[in-house]
Chain A
Amino acid sequence: MTTRIVDLRKGILEKNDLLAQSLRGRFTDAGVRVSNWVSSPGSGKTALLEALLTTAVERGISAAALVGDCATDNDAIRLARSGAPVRQIVTESMCHLESEMISTYLEGWDLATIDLLVVENVGNLVCPTAYDLGEDTRVALISVTEGEDKPLKYPQLFHSADVIVITKTDIAAAVEWDRDAALAAIRSVNPAAPIVETSARTGDGVLDLLDLLISTLTPTHSTQLQEAP
């Protein structure tokens, strides 16, 4: 038998990564800030996103959302109440979003009219970590009802996050949330990312998060925002 070794040196997810890069170029050109929200199911992503979109609309910021779930369009219906355009990506049991889905579901939206696009990933702390969606900011969320050591249990995600959000802080005392232990766990896997403590119910931290996600708006967009009523 004759054998031959062929050097490939190819990224396994190259197809996804190339499309994500091209999406990132489109987002940058259109001046859209894009964040990719990743957390476990039930951590309060949708409630916080609802509060964030409502605040954005009130402040004249043009925000939109793509929400991923394995089934149902419940989240899209719920989020549309904010007045922002929202589309549901139903993944049919797939455990993460890929850049091709983002590209498909963006069709028909004029990116030039959007300032902030939030992609709510499928609730899962493992699989979405490997897939670039073309976002500029990856957000990892942890609720006070989860264990303080969750960042240590899922270090890949929390390490890869650009912003870490703590949710449901209004019930922190009731569930005996150990804030110091949680912050130490986060810092142990991610020494530098900003940490935002939020409550969708009281509105605490929502504006801070919004400011952080749109903080590098292009001058054109900032001007448009100031002129908005």
Chain B
Amino acid sequence: MHELSVAHAVVSTVLDALPSPDTRVLQVRLRVGELSGLVPQALEFAYDVAAQGTPLADAVLVIERSPIIIACSTCGDQPIASATDFRCPVCGEPCGDVVGGKELEILDITLDDTALANADLVGA
């Protein structure tokens, strides 16, 4: 249940990135790796709670999942299907060297720039 802590971190990071405190956020896109330990549904629920009363309140949360990728010493980088079996899918050798799947990042945010565009017009 640390999804709420993570959701608060998402909201606070996005708020820090806004050009002005009243900029409306339309969409937040995250990348969440299969090995990150986060459950997307729980994160969506927590996000709705954390975003309430902020410029993110109406923003759509888009979660992209990224697969677990191991670096097999023989076969190179290979995605594996499950976190319960760290073996190269090609040669079958056990491998714990992970190069992908732990991601927990904000990719980008989509902002409503109407207010800012109008301000530019007024200023022009």
Contact = CB atoms under 8 A, between A and B. Distances in A.
Interface of A: 1-16, 94-96, 98, 126-127, 129-131, 152, 155-157, 159, 187-193
A15 B95 CA distance: 30
A51 to B, nearest CB: 29
A126 to B, nearest CB: 6
A154 to B, nearest CB: 9
B116 to A, nearest CB: 8
13 contacts: A2-B116, A3-B110, A6-B109, A6-B110, A7-B107, A8-B14, A8-B106, A13-B9, A16-B9, A96-B2, A96-B5, A127-B1, A189-B83
B110 A12 contact: no
B114 A2 contact: yes
Interface in B22-57: 26, 30, 35-38
Given A187-B94, A191-B94, A191-B96, A6 B2 contact: no
Contact of A3 (B5, B96, B112): B112
Interface of B: 1-2, 5-6, 9-10, 13-14, 17, 26, 30, 35-38, 83-87, 94-96, 98, 104-114, 116-117
A15 B111 CA distance: 23
B105 A9 contact: yes
